[in-house]
Amino acid sequence: MSCSEISQLPSTDIKEEEKLDEGYQKTYQKFDEIYPTLPKGDGWLGDGFGVGQFLQYQGFWIPSIPLRGIMLIHDHFKPRPTDIILSTSPKCGTTWLRALIFAIINRNSYDFHNHPLLSSNPQDLVLFFEGYIQEGGSTSFIESLPSPRFLSSHIPFSLFPNSMTSSSASACRFVYICRDPKDAFVSMWHFMNKLRARLELPPLPIEDAFELFHIGVSLNGPFWDHVLGFWKASLESPNKVLFLKYEHVKRDTSACVRKIAEFLELPFSADEENEGIVDKIVKLCSFENLSNLDVNKKVDDEKHRFIKNPEFFRKGRVGDWINHLTPEMAEILDQITKEKFQGIGLSFD
């Protein structure tokens, strides 16, 4: 399971029916009914933490807890036109984009010398959608959030309800970031082995992880189908879905910050440009700055999290795959990418 999913699972034991409202009980019953009928696949964690097994649901491999969250979203979530959903395939820059968008949205609310991102991990400031929809056994937690609600998710585009994804003015806005699948795979492999170590499992050999990933068996995979869903949506509804590439954001972060702000209808004013607000956001949210903050280097045992803050950060580099993949592995992933994205104007060259 991804860092955001495990770190932000509901803190209450929502399996106890007395803590569920009637609507949630019906959704949980529906989940229990379909669970035995879904194809099962080996995850990357064995049976660890109850999320090791993947369930194939409408073409994607989803662990049970996020799938239950998806069903709750369909049955109970009431979107607002001001909602902002950061969507990613796991290990494609989620933490970084959380920080950037949070800083953009709240740039008039906080001083850069005393900013929440200096004392809180981005995962604490931007809630994980399919996890927190389960908080407290009702929608009251999500509904109580003030607008604009900024949420993060790994849900594939086709698995969101139409009320969120339509081109109507009442639908949400999505910001999506993808990454070269070679780097995404290597980052996921490293991260999953951190989780396996916590579960006292031996490391998963990269060859075994590769066999799963390249046939599509990965968290919310197939990876390529996840990307395609948002790419096509961005072409059809560019005012509702902003599609970014990790490599582009790394190359010119300032330009991407301006692009995100304009997409959210929060463009930087001339005064803000003159004051260097864009540069301040870029510096605040840089990998170097975030990864070296005390809050992101120290383990806070009081939060009782399975994943600790230091584990959200590794290298944040483009092209690190070359240090881990054989030429044959890289060629296979490149060929799949070429075949999947042929003729649609999308590549990672």
pLDDT tens digits along 230-263: 999 999 999 999 999 999 999 999 999 999 999 9
Report strand pairing: 127-128 vs 84-88: unpaired
Amino acid present at 166: S
Q: What is the pTM of this model?
A: 0.89
Residue-level pLDDT at 215? 96
Catalytic residues: 154
Closest by CA position to 192, among listed 326, 328, 54:
54
Residue-level pLDDT at 67? 96
**Positions of the chain with pLDDT lower than 50, given as ranges:** 1-18, 48-50, 302, 304, 306, 308-311, 313
Diameter of the chain by CA atoms?
59
Residue-level pLDDT at 53? 80
Residue-level pLDDT at 290? 83
Backbone angles phi, psi at 231, to 5 degrees: -60, -50
Report strand pairing: 60-63 vs 54-57: antiparallel
- For the chain, list the domains and their CATH numbers: 18-341 (3.40.50.300)
Cβ-proximal residues to 151 (8 Å cutoff; 6+ apart), any chain: 83, 84, 85, 86, 126, 127, 128, 129, 132
Residue-level pLDDT at 293? 66
The mean of the pLDDT values for the chain is: 87
Q: How many CA atoms lie within 13 A of 281 on its CB side?
A: 29
Three-state secondary structure along the chain?
A: CCHHHHHCCCCCCCCCHHHCCHHHHHHHHHHHHHHHHCCEECCCCCCHHHCCCEEEECCEEEEHHHHHHHHHHHHHCCCCCCCEEEEECCCCCHHHHHHHHHHHHCCCCCCHHHCHHHCCCHHHHCEEHHHHCCHHHCCHHHHCCCCCCEEEECCCHHHCCHHHHCCCCCCCEEEEEECCHHHHHHHHHHHHHHHHHHCCCCCCCHHHHHHHHHCCCCCCCCHHHHHHHHHHHHHHCCCCEEEEEHHHHHHCHHHHHHHHHHHCCCCCCHHHHHCCHHHHHHHHCCHHHHHHCHHHHCCCHHHCCCCCHHHHCCCCCCCHHHHCCCHHHHHHHHHHHHHHHCCCCCCCC
